[in-house]
């Protein structure tokens, strides 16, 4: 029961859409109706600019960390429950009960999960992702490289075996949510970083 209770909390925390609230606060808009329609940091950057986007990124990552810490406390430090709480926070972000199950793609929340499990793996994966974005200017490609590198980083830095298996779910969720981005990348239609189409709201 403790595990179920903690995972429900993790999902509900993940369901808090900071991009929605910040969109309402900054420009009185539903962020899901502008730009790419995604309730996340990248679309916030495209529609509202750097400041709001950074705030969304940090808050979306923090909600995963908080969910995992709460689970750690409730379950007495169970490593599998700790990792699963991160997954449920991502599920909440992607499919939030408070917002009609229309959320983001989970990368910022996944960043929080990875940091909470292995800061070293996060740094290694983040370096690869940043390099990819700097070279190609495709945030989606960098995000996919990040989630692909995470399980490998967990193996290399010798985290708990259960956590390694759970990390594969992070990768799967990201690929599922980025399906259209992958198609766009293949077809050469993906938006690049700096494309500010729709940013005329402030």
Q: Which two three-digit tokens encode residue 172?
A: 């799967």
pLDDT for 197 equals 52
| Percent of the chain residues topping a pLDDT of 90 | 79
pLDDT at position 202: 42
Task: Report pLDDT for 21.
Answer: 95
Mean pLDDT, the chain, integer: 92
| Residues in CB range of 105: below 8 A, 6 or more apart | 38, 40, 94, 143, 174, 177, 178
Per-residue model confidence (pLDDT) at position 158 = 87
Mean pLDDT of 158-162: 87
In this predicted structure, the answer to whether residue 201 has a pLDDT above a threshold of 60 is: no
How many other β-carbons are positioned within 10 Å of the β-carbon of residue 45? Answer: 23
pLDDT at 160 over 70: yes
The confidence score (pLDDT) of residue 94 equals 94
- Record the tokens describing residue 153, joined without a space: 């980083």
Position 196 pLDDT exceeds 90: no
How many angstroms separate the CA atoms of 102 and 73, rounded? 30
Angle at 46 between CA 12 and CA 115, to 5 degrees: 45
Q: Is residue 112 over pLDDT 80?
A: yes
d(CA 47, CA 5): 36
Cα angle, residue 92 at apex, residues 62 and 29 outer, rounded to 5° = 80
In this prediction, residues 23-44 reach a mean pLDDT of 91
55-75 residue pLDDT tens: 999 999 999 999 999 999 999
């Amino acid at each position: 029961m403790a595990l179920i209770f903690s995972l429900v909390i993790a999902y509900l925390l993940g369901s808090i859409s900071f991009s929605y609230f910040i969109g309402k606060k900054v420009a009185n808009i539903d962020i899901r109706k502008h730009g790419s329609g995604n309730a996340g940091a990248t679309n916030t950057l495209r529609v509202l600019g750097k400041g709001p986007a950074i705030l969304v990124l940090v808050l979306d990552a923090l909600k995963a960390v908080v969910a995992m810490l709460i689970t750690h406390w409730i379950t007495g430090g169970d490593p599998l429950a700790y990792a699963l709480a991160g997954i449920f926070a991502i599920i909440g972000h992607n499919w939030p009960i408070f917002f009609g199950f229309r959320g983001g793609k989970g990368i910022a929340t996944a960043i929080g999960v990875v940091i909470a499990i292995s800061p070293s793996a996060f740094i290694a994966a983040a370096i690869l992702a940043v390099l990819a974005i700097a070279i190609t200017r495709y945030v989606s490609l960098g995000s996919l490289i990040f989630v692909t590198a995470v399980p490998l980083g967990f193996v290399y830095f010798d985290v708990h075996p259960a956590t390694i298996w759970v990390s594969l779910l992070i990768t799967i969720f990201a690929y599922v949510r980025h399906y259209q981005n992958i198609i766009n990348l293949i077809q050469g239609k993906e938006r690049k970083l700096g494309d500010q189409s729709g940013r005329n709201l402030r």
